[in-house]
Amino acid sequence: MIDDDTHVFYRNPFTHYPVVARGEGPYLFDEDGKRYLDACGGAIVSALGHSVPEIIDAMKRQLESVEFAHTSQFTNAAQEELAALLAERAPGGLNHVYFVSGGSEAVESAMKLARGYWVQMGRPDKWMVIGREQSYHGNTLGALAAGGNRWRRAIYEPMLFKAPRVAPCYCYRCPFDKAPATCRIECAEDLERAILEAGPENVAAFIAEPIVGATAGALVPHDNYFRRVREICDKYDVLLIADEVMTGLGRCGSWFAIRQFGVVPDMICMAKGLAAGYVPVGATLVHDRIVDTFHNRRHIFQHGHTYMGHPLAAAAGAAVVKYIDQHKLVERSRKMGEELMTQIRKALGDHPHVGDIRGRGLFVGIEFVADRDTKAPFEPEAAFHRELREIAFENGLIIYPMGGTIDGRRGDHVLIAPPFIITKAQIGRLVALLVKSVDAAVAKMHPKVDV
């Protein structure tokens, strides 16, 4: 099925990709006029829906004044404005923003900044970054090294730096076999074990998604998980990096998801929803403590990319933040998220192949199982998630499914993350198409159990 007429090196040359022609609100249309309900913003990107005139106008205005000026020579009004808007909304103390062009770059910047900070502090042995199993922080080598997405890492293992990993906060399949009544947040305590094993003198940072996205399907941590993590980080002089590339900017019903867990991290990585798909952009929000350390010693952060602080990207980002404010979309994400959760639970809560439904705001994950009682997953070879994605797409519904939910190999989930402007009626349509697609995908499975 490889198309010889193209010069594009596709993500997957064995897939047929329709040509997208236009977008409107929560819909995308291909060149044949087929309409798709975009229930995941591509990859949790299009937070405002498609073709919002206010964002496009702001971008045009920027292009009419200046399209590019290198950040080693100039600052620009757009990046100054966006940095101020983000600092105003970020948890206390995260008042400086390092702009980049995507999520992986934001993570790389945060990890290198953590290293730089400890060097400035006279602790040059501190370099290690601890991550979690079943996490994802990006595909560049550093971000891949810190992440716990096994199938994405597999062939690159020899190229990745050593990054210890701790247990995920995965209550549906607790790695410590605990139930809510017996839980002592062992998964948070696991961080202390990893720090002690690596030697606290060697550990620069711990990185975690406040709510795990792509790898495990909207895993919401225990309420006290991040408080305990913060305590452990403070005890051993380890910086806490919150990777909010998926969860940031209103997606989970607050500007930043980490705020819901009562802690202030040392850095926050953002991208995706920051310019809502209108242009690539990423950002690392940095605590004053770290910035001051560099400033007071008159040192610069030795890093940088050509396109950082790009005026067009920053203008789009600033327009997105203002649009979210004007239309009260953070509150709407929370409210419509409750509606989405209610409708999904009603439609799929008793489904024999739905094991768990979880998430916050308009960020909902559904984990599928072959057997609800034993929680046994479908056989990995059956690739239920892929089947589901293809059937849903055929049905005009775009969702974000993934396999390897449990351990990088077994398990299937889907992320549902529609734009904040979605209506109740559109949620109804989304859920109806989802149920139809799940049933059709299940019908194609031989529910043989893999345990």
Ligand X SMILES: Cc1ncc(COP(=O)(O)O)c(C=O)c1O
* Binding region for ligand X (CB under 6 A): 43, 102-104, 107, 136-138, 209, 213-214, 243, 245-246, 271
Of 79 and 104, nearer to ligand X (C-beta) is: 104
Question: Which is nearest to 185 in space by CA: 218, 217, 216, 223?
Answer: 223
Taking CB atoms, the residue at the shortest distance from ligand X is: 103
User: In residues, how long is the chain?
Assistant: 451
Nearer to ligand X, 25 or 280 (CB): 280
Q: How far apart are CB 85 and ligand X at their closest, in Å?
A: 20
In terms of CB distance, is 280 or 419 closer to ligand X?
Answer: 280
Q: Does residue 86 come out as left (phi exceeding 0), alpha (psi in the -120 to 50 range) or beta?
A: alpha
CA separation for the pair 129, 376 (Å, rounded): 33
Nearer to ligand X, 49 or 280 (CB): 280
> Minimum CB separation from ligand X for residue 352, in Å?
30
Least distance from ligand X to the Cβ atom of residue 163, Å: 15
Q: Which is nearer to ligand X, 132 or 137 (CB)?
A: 137
Least separation in angstroms between CB 125 and ligand X: 27
Residue (of 303, 289, 308) closest to 118 by Cα position: 289
Query: Minimum Å distance from CB 445 to ligand X?
Result: 27
C-alpha span between 433 and 416 (Å, rounded): 12
Nearest to 388 by CA among 74, 39, 63: 39
Contacts of 342 (CB under 8 A, 6+ apart): none
Element (H, E) at 268: strand 267-270
Are 280 and 8 a contacting pair, CB within 8 Å?
A: no
Shortest CB 243 distance to ligand X, Å: 5
Which residues, 6 or more positions from 65, have their beta carbon under 8 angstroms from its beta carbon?
Answer: 311
Residue 28 or 107: which CB sits closer to ligand X? Answer: 107
